[in-house]
Amino acid sequence: MKAFSTVLLTLLLPLIIACGFTGGTRVLLVKPDKTNTPLSKNVTLNSFHVEDNAIFRYTPGRPLSTTGLGAFDEDDKENFEASLKKSLTILNVNSNPGKNDALMLKVLLRRNVLAAGSVSIVNFGIYRYALFDSRNNKVYEEQFYVTHSNLENRLETIGRIKDGLHRKALRRIVSHSAAFASNRDPSTLEPIEGTFKTMEQVLPELVSTFVLLPVVTYRTSANPVPGLTLPSGTAIKGGEEGRLTWKQFDRIETVNW
């Protein structure tokens, strides 16, 4: 059995690593922060949408793109939505709702930017969510900003960085929804690490300068590709530095739920 497990891990490990490096995300489970009070209302996910023109991918020396390695895609959307449903299911176990005391949660991803150089990788998001009562009246709404990067752990893959951002966003949405559903003011909760109320608050946390290091290749051909060629046959190509203005990604327009 042990030998079988070792073989299985050997076969699956390259796939797991590849998913992380290419930006694959997972279905996550989060619990509300320090909430032992029974909920007086169930909270169920009504919708999760991605706003138009929400997704951007940045590489130094290249124009902004809506696609690229690790850019938020349909698989990420499905995983985040599944994570919300899974987390809310666990949340509702600790509830004692009265008749017709259900809250509907609507979530909107307003912005997701993945910026990556050879050293720094930053994922930034803007989320807006709202709670509605059984008569479809909006009873609570919040927009927040969230970021996760590899500044503390340079070995983190793109996939793990994206999961880190998703986990922080989920914690804020679930914790604040749980607080409201237990008749508490969400604004009195302890801050969720990596999440912020305004763009001005998150800006100091965002790396602005990204560097794409030169690619070094060894060539034995007598006619190497154009570039700096050393006597050893090593060709050095590329090398870019770029600065990203994060404030351009702010989104403050009113949402018509």
Q: Which residue has the tokens 């709404």?
A: 141
CATH of domain 2-207: 3.40.50.10610
- Res 46: pLDDT: 97
CA distance 202 to 209: 16
pLDDT exceeds cutoff 60 at 54: yes
Confidence class for position 153, pLDDT limits 50, 70, 90: confident
- Token digits for 141? 């709404």
Cβ burial of 226 (10 Å; 0-12, 13-18, 19+) is exposed
What pLDDT does residue 96 have? 64
**pLDDT reading at 14 higher than 50:** no
3-state secondary structure 228-251: EECCCCEEEECCEEEECCHHHHCC
Q: What is the pLDDT of residue 212?
A: 86
Residue 194: HSE in the Cβ half-sphere, 13 Å Cα cutoff? 24
pLDDT at 151: 87
Q: In this predicted model, which residue has the larger pLDDT, 32 or 53? A: 53
Tell me the pTM: 0.82
The pLDDT score that the predictor gives to residue 82 is 97
Mean pLDDT is highest, among 64-68, 100-104, 196-200, for 196-200
Query: What proportion of the chain, given as a percentage, has pLDDT over 90?
Result: 62
CA pair distance 73, 7, nearest whole angstrom: 32
What pLDDT is attached to residue 238? 58
Looking at every residue in the chain, the average pLDDT score rounds to 84
- Give the pLDDT confidence score for residue 4 in this predicted structure: 43
Percent pLDDT > 70 in the chain is 77
- C-alpha 126/C-alpha 189 separation (Å) is 20
Position 9 scores a pLDDT of: 39
How does pLDDT run across 69-115, given as a tens digit for each residue?
999 999 999 999 999 999 998 888 766 666 557 899 999 999 999 99
What mean pLDDT is predicted for residues 220-233? 49
